[in-house]
Amino acid sequence: MPGHPRTGLLAICAATALLWSALPAKADLRMCNTTSSRIGVAIGYRNAQGWTTEGWWNISPRGCETLLRGTLAARFYYVHAIDYDKGGEWTGKSVMCVRNKEFTIRGIEDCLARGYDRAGFFEVDTGEQKSWTIQLTDSGNTAPPRP
């Protein structure tokens, strides 16, 4: 996992709710990569069992992946992403546990003492929607809502 900050690229995440009117709702947390790079994504969230971080999803350029299936259990989700092609990462102020290979980690405390790495995650507020799509961009433009 690269440890250097993203350079020369302003990363903005625009989150948009998926709205389904006449059809039964398919509730998921999805990530769409609107960049021209391959990215790796880890997420963090709090549910009834406490804090969990999971990763890595590999998302192709201009591709989308379902990160969590089913009705969202939390209002806030946290994301850490890595640009595999250009280097750098999308980070935030919330520090959680990660590792270099596929993982599910319970708890966000004492990462190093438990043999994990630490990484900064940025917060996504879903507004308590049942479904949400996070759009990862490499420009200052906000992606339009997806119907």
**Position 92 in a domain:** yes
Structurally, the chain folds into a number of domains equal to 1
Q: How far is CA 85 from CA 14, 36, 71, 82, 139, in A?
A: 21, 9, 33, 9, 16
Q: What is the pLDDT of residues 128-144, one digit of tens each?
A: 888 999 999 875 333 33
Distance CA 68, CA 7 (A): 30
pTM for the model: 0.77
Q: Which of 60, 147, 143, 43 is nearest to 102 (CA)?
A: 43
**Position 2 in a domain:** no
3-state secondary structure of 138: coil
Range of the domain at 96: 12-137
Instruction: Please give the pLDDT value at position 26.
Output: 64
Instruction: Please give the pLDDT value at position 128.
Output: 85
pLDDT for 111 beyond 80: yes
Distance CA 80, CA 121 (A): 5
Higher-scoring residue by pLDDT: 43, 73: 43
CATH number at residue 33: 2.60.40
**Position 5 in a domain:** no
